[in-house]
Amino acid sequence: MPAQFRSGRASGPFRTDFWRSPLRGPWLTSFLGTLLVPSITVIAITGFISHWAYHPELPGNATINPAFDIPVFFQLPQSWPSWDYAVTQGMHVTVGLMTLPLVLAKLWSVIPKLFKLPTVRDLAGVVERISLLLLVGSVLVEFVTGILWMEDYYRLRVDFFAIHYYGAWVFGTTFVLHTCMKLPTVRRSYRERGALRPLCESLHETKPEPLGSSELVPVAPATATLSRRGLLAMVGGASLTIFAVQAGESIGGPFRKFALLAPRGRVFGTGPNDFQVTHTAESAQVTEAMTGADWRLTVVGARTMSFSRDQLLAMAQATETLTISCTEGWSTTQHWTGVRLIDLARSVDAAPGSILSAVSVESNWVTNLADAQYRDKRALLALRVNGADLSLDHGYPARVIIPGGIGNHNAKWVRELRFEQA
């Protein structure tokens, strides 16, 4: 063995006496890992719900090429309340952010393993190191890409959906493997130390775990300056603070203004159109000329009809209270008034089972809606909101509002509705 790898001669963090925190040990890492399991499960389930909420089975909607994707397993039922996706995606983002302190604490608890010598003993050691690189790399990439996306500040060249979705595959599989591999260690440390007993120890009772029970236990421990329950309280306090400054943008209503650091935690006024905008008309290059007096809505089914805004306003109007929820995690609930989409479908004798393509004046952007989505009697082509005409930023002259599911389906500045057989 080369001299520099002999532990007696190792230097810096490679010295076995370099890592001195008396808190590190198999119990602490097991406990942090145990807390991660339910958090990661919630993030994963809500993440897949969001992935499938795009209705990737409809042409043009998929964010990931369906040829290289697993089939749709679950979609939020159309009969659920219109805030279903607000809850699932709000949880994805908020629980995700709240899990960050836990992940960082978990990584802190195992850092001595990175520097243990010899780095690898055998082929199994090499294999484990590669899987840990994938595990830690993917969890960090998931957090960074998710946070940047939530903040409208995603700057990487790799497509967000590709890196975040497939990154979840890498993280999910390595996380399950890692959990299974560490299960014996977790059970042993809970059996020997008690699953919760170390939480009863005050600061002076805080002693290192028995030396030799794991490489994590320091050979030259310092005196504890923090109890294990103190460390967990800090992690929990950090999670709760993040909840306090973030969740209001998903819950909405009077809670929005308490989301002091959330990107969409602002209240801009009390007017009918003063709620959060996904993207402005200016950013979509939609001008007043494109949406002015010349604007007409074309509806295509078994026959084609064309409507001016006044003609749409003369049709039977319905008012529904519906929630728009963005993939970024924020939501807003408003009172929308307009023509029911099912009435427009009937007016052109749309064939049963048709899908609805909503075409926007915004660079002819198209979103496709499933039969069940536009047949929901709450689904509207909204012309007004909270008793006033839609503002240009909110989609004037007309926008689609579908109850439930992803906000992305609520096309703004609609110029054409095509009911077509798939």
* Contacts (CB under 8 A) with other proteins, residues 352-371: none
Q: Which of 76, 86, 91, 100 binds other proteins (CB under 8 A)?
A: 100
CB-nearer residue toward other proteins: 127 or 422? 127
Using CB under 8 A, which of the segments 36-44, 145-153, 303-311, 337-345 binds other proteins? Answer: 145-153
Give me the 230-249 binding string for other proteins, x by CB under 8 A, dash otherwise.
Answer: x--xx--xx--xx--x----
Say whether residue 219 binds other proteins (CB under 8 A).
Answer: no
β-sheet bridge partners, residue 420: 355
Upper half-sphere CA count for residue 47 (Cβ side, 13 Å) = 21
Nearest approach, Cβ of 215 to other proteins (angstroms)?
16
Site for other proteins in 256-275 (CB under 8 A): 260-261, 263-264, 266, 268
Q: Does 125 bind other proteins (CB under 8 A)?
A: yes
**Positive or negative torsion for Cα 343, 335, 410, 45:** negative
- Interacting residues with other proteins between 177 and 196 (CB under 8 A): 177, 180-181
Q: Is 304 in the site for other proteins (CB under 8 A)?
A: no
Kindly tell me the sign of the dihedral angle through the C-alpha atoms of 88, 91, 97, 102. Answer: negative
Q: Which stretch binds other proteins (CB under 8 A): 77-85, 176-184, 306-314, 339-347?
A: 176-184
Least spacing, CB of residue 97 vs other proteins, in Å? 6
Q: Are 316 and 342 in contact (CB under 8 A)?
A: no
Minimum Å distance from CB 127 to other proteins?
5
The residue among 3 and 123 lying less far from other proteins, judged by its C-beta, is 123
Q: What is the nearest approach in angstroms of other proteins to the Cβ of residue 105?
A: 10
Binders of other proteins among residues 278 to 297 (CB under 8 A) are: 278-280, 282-283
The nearest distance, CB 261 to other proteins, in angstroms, is 5
What is the total count of residues that contact other proteins (CB under 8 A)? 73
Of 123 and 316, the one with the shorter C-beta distance to other proteins is 123
201 binds other proteins (CB under 8 A): no
Map the footprint of other proteins across residues 53-82, applying CB under 8 A.
Answer: 64-65, 68
